[in-house]
Chains A and B, each alone.
Chain A
Amino acid sequence: MTALQDTVLVLLVLSSFALLGASRLGACIRFVALQGIVTGLLPIAVSGHGPTPRVAVIGATVILIKGFFFPHLLTRAMREAQTRRELQPFVGYVTSLAFGVLALIGSFWLDSRLNLPIHGASDLVVPVALATMIIGLFLIVSRRIAVSQVIGFLVLENGIYAFGVAIVRDVPALIELGILMDVFVAVFVMGIAIYHINREFDHIDTDRLTMLKG
C-alpha cells in the first residue's frame, strides 16, 4: 500500500509547486482541483487493508467538494470578475518556487525533530502535510487577487487535512463532515464576497482595498 500512498503524497507536493509557479488563474484552479482529488484519495490510501465504508464515504465527499464543486465556484468568480491572471504578485514566481523548496526541506527537518505518531502511514505524510500548509499560507500572503487568496486557503486546508489523516486515527465521522461543511461554507461565503467586491470596486485586487487604516 505504501506505493499508492507515496504516489498520492508526491502528487500533493507537486500540485502545490505547480500552484507556486502558475500565473494564469484557470491553470491555478485546475491544479487546486487536482490537489483536492488527491487529498480525498489520501485517507483511502492510508487505510492499509481496504477502506471501511466510513473512510470511503468521507473520501468520496472530499473528492466531490474539493475536486469539482470548489473549482466550479472559483471559475465562476473568475469569470464574473473578468480576471484571467494574477497581476504582479508580491513575490515573483521563481522566488515563490525557491520558497516552496525551502519549505519542503524545512518540513523534513521539522518532522525529524517532532517525532509525531503516524500509525504505520508512510514516512512522507507529515513532511508533505507540513509543506503543503506552509505553501498555502505563503500563497495567501503573497498573492493579490482575491481568487488566488482563496486558492491559498484551500491549499492550507488540504495540508491540514493530510496532517489530520496522518496523526489522528478514528476522528468521528460526524466531526469530519462538520469540518468539511465549514470549509465548504467558507469558500461559498468567500465567493459571494468576491462577487460583491467586484461589483463595488470593479476589481478584486485586494492590495488596493486600502480605505481602512490605523
Chain B
Amino acid sequence: MTHELIQELYSYFSTKSFIKAYKKDGKAVIGLLCNTVPEEIIHAAGAVPSRLIGTAENFELAPAKIPGWICNYAKRVFEDALSGKFDFVDGVVSSTSDDTKIHLFSAYNFYLKPEFSYLIQIPYVRDDLSRKFFVKELKRFAEKLSGFLQSEINDERIEYSISIYNRFRELLEVLNSMRMEDKPKLSGAEWMKIMQSSTSLLKEDINPLLEKLIEKLEERDGRGEYSMRVHLSGTDFHDIALIEMMESMGIAVVSDDFCTSFPAEQVNNGIEGIAENYLNQTACVLTSASTSIEERIEYIMSRFKESRAEGLIILRDRGCEICGHQCAFTMDAFRDVPTMVLDLDVPVTTEQYTTRIEAFIESYG
C-alpha cells in the first residue's frame, strides 16, 4: 500500500496529470530552473510553480544549441524543452546561482520564447545591504509576475502561501527523519520520487498525500538489513535508477544534499522572510558569511552526522561547475570516512558503476 502510494505520487511527475488539470482550470505554470527561486511568491500570485526536471537520455536537439559538456541538468531540461515536453510552461524563472543556470535561462528564452521570464539576481554576500537588495529584488519579481498574471500579490496571499509551504517543509522533515531511522522506513529512491512528484503538484495538493503517506510509513517495518548507511552528495541530481541500484546492492541511502531535494527551514514574515530563507540556503550554496565551500562542507557534514551515515558517495556531474570546484575540498574534509566519487554523464548507465560500488561496500560495508 505504501509502495503504491509512492508510485502514485511519482506518476504525477511522469504524467503531469495535475499540471494538465491546473492548466485546464486556467492556471499559469511557471517553470523554474533552480531551487533558489522562491516558489512562495509564484504560488501567491495564483500560478503553479514547477521546478523543471528533464528526463532525456539521448540528445538530438540540444547539441545544436548548447555545448555537450555542460551539466546534465541543463542538457536534459533543454532537450526536453526543445522537444516540446515543457509546452505546458507559460513562463520561466531562474536565478544567478551559477553560470549554467544563467545561460540556460537565456537559451531557454531565446529559443523557446515563453510568455514570461525573470532572472532573479542573487547577491553573493550576506551583509545588510545585500539582504535589503534581495528583498527589493524579490518585490520587483513579484511585481513583474503579478503584471503578467494580472493578479495581485498582497501580504495576505504571501502569508497563506508561506503557510502552505511551511506545512510542506514540516512533512518533508518527518519523511526525512523516517529515512534516517536505524531501520529506514523510506528508501533514498522513494525519497527522490517524492521530491520529483512535488515539482508537479501544488503544495496544497501534495500535502494531504504526504500526510497519508506518513501514516502508512509509520506502520511500515523499516529496512533492517543493509551493509552501509550512505549520504549522497551532489547538485541537481535526480537519477532514481542509480539510487535504486545502490540500494539493491546493500546500501541504505539515508541522506543527501542535492538541490533537487528540499531544504526544510521554515519561512517567516512575508517577502522579507522569504528573502532571508532563500539567501541562507546551503543546499547549493553561493552566498555565505565566510566562503561557500566552508559552508557547503559544514552543511554536508551536518546532514551526514544527523543521518548517522557511515560513508559518503559524491555524485559528480562532469559538467557541473559547483561540483567541479568544490569536490576536492569535500573529499579532503571527509578524508577520515569512507568516500567515493562517481563521475556522472548522461545517459547514466548504472552498470558502469556496479563494480565500483561493490568494491566500496566490500572495503567499508
Asked if A and B are interacting partners, one says no
Interface residues of B, Cβ cutoff 8 Å to A: none
Interface residues of A, Cβ cutoff 8 Å to B: none
